[in-house]
């Protein structure tokens, strides 16, 4: 068993609000969806700051969430 030293524990505790991102490949063994790659490339191309990028992603999420209220599920996909 690997022993974690006190500094490492302190570092992990200090950074607990900012967990390290994990890729879909690391988590699920799958590559990122091509749309995700396109979104990141577009953000880079636009020269957006992280704050602008995250705000834009939040806006997109909110729009998708709103539009999901109007999606009609075909009857064949509804389990009774």
- Closest by Cα among 37, 34, 39, 71 to 57: 39
pLDDT-based confidence at residue 79 (cuts at 50, 70, 90): low
What confidence tens digit (pLDDT) does each residue in 39-77 have? 999 999 999 999 999 999 999 999 988 988 887 766 665
Domains of the chain, residue spans: 33-69
What confidence tens digit (pLDDT) does each residue in 30-49 have? 888 899 999 999 999 999 99
- The half-sphere exposure of 55 on its side-chain side, counting CA atoms within 13 A, is 5
pLDDT-based confidence at residue 7 (cuts at 50, 70, 90): confident
Local structure of 45: helix, strand or coil: helix
Cα separation of 1 and 4, whole Å?
A: 9
Q: What are phi and psi of 2, to 5 degrees?
A: -80, 130
Residues of the chain above pLDDT 70, percent? 79
Give 70's DSSP letter.
G
Neighbours of 56 (CB within 10 A): 15
């Amino acid at each position: 068993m690997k022993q974690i030293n006190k500094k490492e524990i302190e570092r992990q505790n200090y950074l607990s609000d900012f967990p390290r991102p994990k890729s879909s490949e690391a988590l699920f063994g799958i590559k990122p969806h091509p749309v995700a790659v396109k979104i990141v490339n577009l953000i880079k191309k636009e020269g957006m700051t992280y704050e602008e990028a995250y705000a834009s992603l939040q806006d997109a999420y909110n729009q998708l969430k709103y539009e999901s209220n109007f999606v009609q599920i075909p009857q064949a996909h509804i389990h009774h």
